Amino acid sequence: METESRWIPAMIGTLILGGLLVLTSACGPDDEPALVNGFDLTGAAVPPSTILVGTRRDGIKALDAPTFVSAEEADLRGSARVLGLVHGGVAKAYGIDVLTYHEIVNDRFDGRPVAVTYCPLCASGLAFVAEYDGRRLVFGVSGLLHNSDLLMFDRGTESLWSQLQAQAVTGPLNGATLTRLPLVETSWADWRTRHPETILLSAPTNTGLAYSRPLYPGYAESEALWYPVSHDDASRPPKSKVLGLVIGSVAKAWPLDELEREAASLDVERLALPDDLGGRSVVIIYDVEAHSAEVTTADGERLPGVTAYWFAWHAFHPGAGVWTASAGRGSALDSGQARGVAVPR
């Protein structure tokens, strides 16, 4: 079902971002693809009419030279939300308050290029190996959206990339995919406890931005969407959080409120939920205090799941399965309905 009544004109978002553009279709008067924000949509992998303008190109500045501080030096409250990544033996955390204002961090881990991305409209954080065909990719914020989600562009070819699809949808690299890394959304206190050696992205001091001030006041609390999406499902609150995972061509979501209900039924603060997806055994780990979920293999290796708003996940995966705690209490349990068990931190 198309989203109709729940989305509101994007001019509000544009004004908040300081952009100069209003909600605009990416089609010309004859429904032919056109240059939008300087990007050629000819041959786009998604309907050009679904690519919408949120703000001007580079109106949101990606961080190309990020700096970090140690956990001991960090001045961040324990409840603050961060995206955490361990790669190449290095642990880093990225405060969502900073990411909301920049959306992309072009970083390196042990010399390898990595892009850490966050879309505030979808509450989706994903990290990628920033390479394709042996070349480093440096990403910018295009100012365009598809299904309300960030469209990045690489500065080398100016191809547009869908964040949640991890795939180029226009340009010379159209159809190419990025290798995802297992990014975790959690609290700073939880991440620092698990990774005391972590470093934290330092808020730039020369931008004039007030990172402590919400950029989208009231957005997370409202059910309204600023931009229409291709598929809508009102069976869950649109901005409730889910953990989503794709293995091969199979996708599934685990709502965080359902995981919390399961943990409460077992009277545990941290649980492991065995499941199966695409013929592979996985374990969903949920921490009640941190309100954080991640997915691992049966052997404990982190997999690249994503935490995002329900509406955003469903827009890209309308046929995906959804786990519920009530299903887990049935008399005939299979691997997709298994009860959680308490696990140590």
**Residue 94: DSSP 8-state:** E
Q: Give the residue among 23, 15, 19 at the shortest CA–CA distance from 50.
A: 23
The DSSP 8-state label assigned to residue 179 in this structure reads -
Do 27 and 47 contact (CB within 8 A), yes or no? no
pTM as predicted = 0.88
- State the DSSP H helix or E strand holding residue 52, giving kind and residue range, or none if neither: strand 51-53
**pLDDT for position 127:** 98
Taking alpha carbons only, the member of 186, 134, 169 closest to residue 293 is: 186
Task: Quote the tokens at residue 105.
Answer: 């961090």
Lookup: tokens for 141:
């914020």
Tens of pLDDT along the chain (345 residues)?
A: 333 334 444 434 443 343 333 344 444 444 555 689 999 999 999 999 999 999 999 999 999 999 999 999 999 999 999 999 999 999 999 999 999 999 999 999 999 999 999 999 999 999 999 999 999 999 999 999 999 999 999 999 999 999 999 999 999 999 999 999 999 999 999 999 999 999 999 999 988 999 989 999 999 999 999 999 999 888 999 999 999 999 999 999 999 999 999 999 999 999 999 999 999 999 999 999 999 999 999 999 999 999 999 999 999 999 999 999 865 432 222 333 344 454 545
pLDDT of residue 29: 44
- Residues forming beta bridges with residue 266, ordered by sequence position: none
Helix, strand, or coil here: 50?
helix
What pLDDT, on the 0 to 100 scale, is given for residue 13?
42
For the chain, what's the residue count? 345
Amino acid at 97: D
Structure token digits, residue 19: 């952009």
Measured distance CA(105)–CA(160) in Å, rounded: 16
Taking a C-beta distance cutoff of 8 angstroms, is the pair 255, 323 a contact?
yes
Rounded CA separation 233/297 (Å): 29
Q: Are strands 90-95 and 104-109 parallel, antiparallel or unpaired?
A: unpaired
Give pLDDT, residue 32.
53
Question: Looking at residue 327, what is its pLDDT?
Answer: 56
CA–CA separation, 227 and 149 (whole Å)? 9
